[in-house]
Structure 1
Amino acid sequence: MSNRKRVLVTGGAGFLGSHLCERLLSDGCDVLCVDNFYSGTKDNVTHLLENPHFELMRHDVTFPLYVEVDEIYNLACPASPIHYQRDPVQTTKTSVHGAINVLGLAKRTKARVFQASTSEVYGDPEVHPQQEGYWGRVNPIGIRSCYDEGKRCAETLFFDYHRQHDLEIKVVRIFNTYGPRMHPNDGRVVSNFIVQALRGEDITIYGDGSQTRSFCYVDDLIDGFVRMMASSKDMTGPVNLGNPGEFTIRELAEAVLKMVGGKSKLVMKPLPQDDPKQRQPDITLAKSVLGWKPQIKLEEGLGRTIDYFRKFVTS
């Protein structure tokens, strides 16, 4: 009888999910990858299909799932504005009904359950950098609310299940992450800039480019996931995971241009509604409790990401 840990990854065919499935397989786990392919794609996990310890299932987490597992990573939810605003009601349902369903599964199987929350729970913050104790400043009725408030409600459900049913929960708040397998048309700033530069198009900056973001390479983030899941029972989170190195959007655009080359120009467009002006994680808790901090510098990570996109994008 196998003593491999049985791990469910919802949203496992997405950008982050596919990297997590890879890491878990390399760690000796049996991995069940569940995805409805709304924003994820089979292409992200095709290379894993021949592994006998990997299984792919098409399923929507807004419906219950009946499987036997030891751990659950709940990553199911479109995470870029282009995708989550396309069907905002479904986005909220994915966060809220999805959380209820994975928590119910965890309760039945006594599995440890992990919630991939987001820095968006902080909204457009009045506190900088953002610490886990900050409650946030979120517009509850804006065009981003389906994602922001859906993720906030999911956190509420996780902590209520923990208090009411003594469930072992792990909640992380993910800050901007980038790397291979990002969707080329997901509207996220790193993929946008790289794709535009590779195509020789003008690079679109929303606002004046002075707004800041912190960019974490995907391998670093996934290492944080695994460390969090393995942490002691009383370490519920939430824990910020991200790179505290802060860059303006203009600095990122200029770095991408320099690395890709070409003659693209920077073009300014109006800032979208509720777009945060600053985003930077305080990772003091992750450092002290998980022994985690990002290792990969922006230039190295951008280089790997550009190499990935070169295979798919032609000028």
Structure 2
Amino acid sequence: MLGLAKRVGARFLLTSTSEVYGDPLQHPQAETYWGNVNPIGVRSCYDEGKRTAETLSMDYHRGARVEVRIARIFNTYGPRMCIDDGRVVSNFVAQALRKEPLTVYGDGKQTRSFQYVSDLVEGLMKLMEGEHVGPFNLGNPGEFTMLELAQVVQETIDPNARIEFRPNTEDDPHKRKPDISRAKDLLGWEPKVPLRHGLPFMVSDFRKRIFGDHSTSTTSSSSSSASV
């Protein structure tokens, strides 16, 4: 893709990830932090893959004058996510709707920051329309432990939803929170949607897809019968 961007003179967007910081020793994480990544860990193919993609992008930018833009995206949620993609917000929402226990790994004290999808889209547009290469952290600095996230999901869907603790996964980062000072200063961007405001939109979408939108299916059946 970088070769194609070079040939046609395109501006290239790399959607990198907060995972480049690994299990960070700096908190919150600024773009100047080089990270703390285990290169042979079970998660390293993703972490190191994104780090390599950033390296290649900057090499093409410096050596071939390709216009690149690099965004380091932190946890994002919203409607239309894959229901069973394994991401923590998707897991909790789907489990609560299905009356299953919310699975929390480890002690639940590890933290993440969750941004609503519309905030991310606005940040990516500002990045692509601007003149700054990056990398830029695009994320919501609001920090939640996994237990706090589970409690927000309970409040939104089912106060009686049970929380089930399971052994933690290997190389799971303990803390994750973006320093977005650079994006605020150079892109004029910061997230606007807090978790408690954005989550109900995702819940509504998941509910329709898990249980079916009966009004839509009834209308479709009627239309089909009429056309037959």
- TM superposition score normalised by structure 1: 0.66
Separation in structure 2 between the aligned mates of residue 246 and residue 311 of structure 1, nearest angstrom: 29
Query: Residue 195 of structure 1 aligns to a residue in which SS?
Result: helix
How far residue 262 of structure 1 moved from its aligned partner, in angstroms, is 5.5
How far residue 263 of structure 1 moved from its aligned partner, in angstroms, is 2.9
Separation in structure 2 between the aligned mates of residue 270 and residue 129 of structure 1, nearest angstrom: 26
User: What letter is aligned with 1:139?
Assistant: N
Structure 2 unaligned spans of 5+: 212-228
Identity %: 57
Aligned to 2:82: 183
Aligned to 1:16: none
How far residue 121 of structure 1 moved from its aligned partner, in angstroms, is 0.3
2:28 is the alignment partner of 1:139: no
Query: Residue 312 of structure 1 aligns to a residue in which SS?
Result: helix
Structure having the higher Rg = 2
Query: Residue 183 of structure 1 aligns to a residue in which SS?
Result: coil
Separation in structure 1 between the aligned mates of residue 185 and residue 168 of structure 2, nearest angstrom: 36
2:130 is the alignment partner of 1:130: no
Separation in structure 2 between the aligned mates of residue 312 and residue 231 of structure 1, nearest angstrom: 37
Separation in structure 1 between the aligned mates of residue 74 and residue 160 of structure 2, nearest angstrom: 31
Aligned to 2:170: 273
Aligned to 1:108: 7
Query: Residue 209 of structure 1 aligns to a residue in which SS?
Result: coil
How far residue 297 of structure 1 moved from its aligned partner, in angstroms, is 1.2
Separation in structure 2 between the aligned mates of residue 149 and residue 242 of structure 1, nearest angstrom: 20
Separation in structure 2 between the aligned mates of residue 297 and residue 214 of structure 1, nearest angstrom: 10
Separation in structure 2 between the aligned mates of residue 128 and residue 297 of structure 1, nearest angstrom: 21
- TM superposition score normalised by structure 2: 0.91
Separation in structure 1 between the aligned mates of residue 56 and residue 160 of structure 2, nearest angstrom: 49
Aligned to 2:224: none
Within the candidate set 159, 182, 194, 1:297 is matched to 194
Query: Residue 313 of structure 1 aligns to a residue in which SS?
Result: helix
Structure 1 unaligned spans of 5+: 1-101
Q: Structure 1 stretches (4+) deviating beyond 6 angstroms? A: none
2:144 is the alignment partner of 1:247: yes
Separation in structure 1 between the aligned mates of residue 125 and residue 5 of structure 2, nearest angstrom: 18
How far residue 143 of structure 1 moved from its aligned partner, in angstroms, is 1.2
Aligned to 1:203: 102
Aligned residues: 212
String of CA shifts for 1:182-235, please: whole Å, max 9, x gaps. 111111110100000000111100011111110000000010000000111xx1
Structure number with higher relative contact order (C-alpha < 8 Å, ≥ 6 residues apart) = 2
User: CA RMSD of the aligned region, Å?
Assistant: 1.1
> 1 or 2, which has the higher helix percentage?
2
Aligned to 2:222: none
2:82 is the alignment partner of 1:156: no
Query: Residue 311 of structure 1 aligns to a residue in which SS?
Result: helix
Q: Is the Cα–Cα contact under 8 Å of residues 200 and 263 in structure 1 kept in the other structure?
A: no
Separation in structure 2 between the aligned mates of residue 179 and residue 207 of structure 1, nearest angstrom: 25
